[in-house]
Structures are given as structure tokens and as C-alpha cells.
Amino acid sequence: MSGEMMNTKEVAQYLGIHEKQVYALIKAKRIPSTRVTGKWIFPKKLIDEWVESHAKKGLEKVRERARRIEGALLACGSNDPILDMLHTYMKKTYPEFYIFSANTGSTDGLKALNRGFTDIAWSHLLDPESGQYNIPFLPTYVPDVKAVVVNLFQRELGFLVAPENPFKINGFKDMGKKGVRFINRQKGSGTRVLLDHHLKELNIPASLIEGYDREVYTHFEVGLSILSQEADVGICTVAVAKLLGLPFIPIARESFDMILDQGTFFNKGIQAFIETLNSREFRKTVEPMGAYDFKYSGKILYSTQG
């Protein structure tokens, strides 16, 4: 079917739900659709607008709840096990501050920041032309925000593979090997952007990769998919490889940053977060994860002028 129109099976795959749930939404008149020659069809543009509308309502509800707690901040965007550990450690050292975080992917995190749905965006988007992370995307995704980009850490990203690496994966060129089952990250995530860039460079169509359409939202989910033998390879941070004891093949060293409005930067909760990040106690806790560089942690990499 045309890319502008989808049938029930295609819209179910697009939304990541069962086809029966699509019919339930049609019956409840909760999804934009129309019937042509006895079949339901769904204009992709209207589906995208519907998804965005529901996401907006969801974020607004979370934001409203968060605002009821004094000292609370809302964050969304990318994901990293070290970031999860940092949240936990901050709760112990600064119990008066809260950061509620959602895994939406780097791109959607920046978009949410621009729309005022979140206070903080976590991001690691690579611009292949400049080699810079995140900063080149600010005019596109956060044009209405006087943004500050603060580095949290640099990390190693790579292929996580099944024990003993049976398919001898050592680069993106191996993604299309026969029999290799891949587990992907969601659209808009920095990891997905990196993958698609390399596939384009190598002229490898996504259709050749078994599992390209299987998406998860966190690095741990990638690792668990391989550990449970549901997949043979995925892309994630080195921390997951260390924690799960799986082989890891490095492919990139990334800058994982916090993007926020200049006014929010001076919030006491943000300053407490940066202090926790730079504390000796926290660094000692995450040291066993390895391959994380905190050289520029807490430093402002960019600030919008004017």
C-alpha cells in the first residue's frame, strides 16, 4: 500500500500493537480511519498527528504530577545505565530534589524540550558532516529555546553479540549476513540515527536486515534480547556488556549530553545533579563499568547567544 496510506496490518506494525487492538480503537472511534471498498485505511499523516497529540497529553499529565512535588524536574530523551545509576545516587544524596525521566529517544527528547513538555533532554545525536554531537541539531529541534548543552560523559557504543560471536560480527557490513537476527532501537533514538547513517554509507537496505523493525527503548532491552537468545546482535553501551557478560565490539565514542533552557540551568536541582555527577563517591560506584570518560562532565559545551 502507498506510504501515505496504511491498512490495518501496516498501522498495527507502525504503532507497535496487535492488529486486534487497531480494530478495538476503530470501534471506539479513537483512531483516525476511513473505510474504502469494505477495508479500513489510515492516512499516515493523520496517524502521526494522532500519535503526537496523545504523546503531548501524556507528557502534560506527567508534568502536572511532577509540578505537585516541590523541587521536581521532568526529563526525557536517550537512555544509559550510568544515567539510571546517577538518578538513584542523586535520590540518596539530595532527597529534596526529583528528576522524573522517560525513555523517548534523543530526537523526541529535544522536540519535547522545544515544546515545553520537559525541562531536560538527554541526547547523543551525531552529525556526520561536522562530527559534532547534539549542537548541530539545536536549530532544527529546539529553535524556540535558549539552549545550554552540558556534557554528562563520553561513552563507548558498540555491537553487543551472542556468546562467542557465532556470526563473527565486527562491523556494520555484517548486519546483512544470512541468519543474523538484529534487535533495533526505536526511531529517533541516537543509536538508530547512527545505525541508519552507516547503513546508508554502505548501501545496505534495511530490508536485508532481519529484525530491523523489532524495536526496544533501552540498552538493557537490547542486552536482554540477546541474553534470552531472541537476537544475535544489537547496538548498545559498553555498560550493558559489562553487566550481562556479553561480547562487545566498539564502534563509536559518543558525547552524552544534557540539553536544557538557560533559565533551567541555574535551578538548584540541576546544580545538585551536576554535583552528584562529579562527586568522588558516584565516580567510584560506576568505575567498574569501564570505558566511560568523565573528563568534561558538567561543563557547558554550548550556549545559545542572544
pLDDT for res 66: 47
pLDDT for res 44: 81
Residues 206, 221, single domain; the answer is: yes
The kind and range of the H/E element at 237 are strand 233-237
Residues 11, 59, single domain; the answer is: no
Tell me whether residue 266 is exposed, middle or buried, using C-beta atoms within 10 angstroms of its C-beta: 0 to 12, 13 to 18, 19 or more: exposed
189 has pLDDT over 90? yes
For residue 84, being part of any structural domain is answered with yes
For residue 152, being part of any structural domain is answered with no
Residues 289, 264, single domain; the answer is: yes
Residues 248, 223, single domain; the answer is: yes
Residues 39, 64, single domain; the answer is: no
For residue 182, being part of any structural domain is answered with yes
Q: Which domain does 182 fall in, by range?
A: 158-253
Residues 137, 283, single domain; the answer is: yes
Mean pLDDT for 270-287 is 93
Pairing verdict, β 5-6 and 72-77: unpaired
For residue 153, being part of any structural domain is answered with no
Interval 49-86: pLDDT, tens: 766 665 555 555 555 554 545 567 889 999 898 998 89
Residues 141, 263, single domain; the answer is: yes
Collapsing DSSP states into helix, strand and coil, what is residue 151? Answer: strand
Residues 246, 262, single domain; the answer is: no
Interval 117-163: pLDDT, tens: 899 999 999 999 999 999 999 999 999 999 999 999 999 999 999 99
User: The domain that contains 296 carries what CATH number?
Assistant: 3.40.190.10
- What's the number of domains the chain is made of? 3
pLDDT for res 48: 74
Residues 263, 135, single domain; the answer is: yes
266 has pLDDT over 80? yes
Mean pLDDT for 267-279 is 94
Residues 77, 206, single domain; the answer is: no
For residue 262, being part of any structural domain is answered with yes
Collapsing DSSP states into helix, strand and coil, what is residue 296? Answer: coil
- pTM for the model: 0.76
Residues 231, 213, single domain; the answer is: yes
The more confident residue out of 215 and 47 is 215
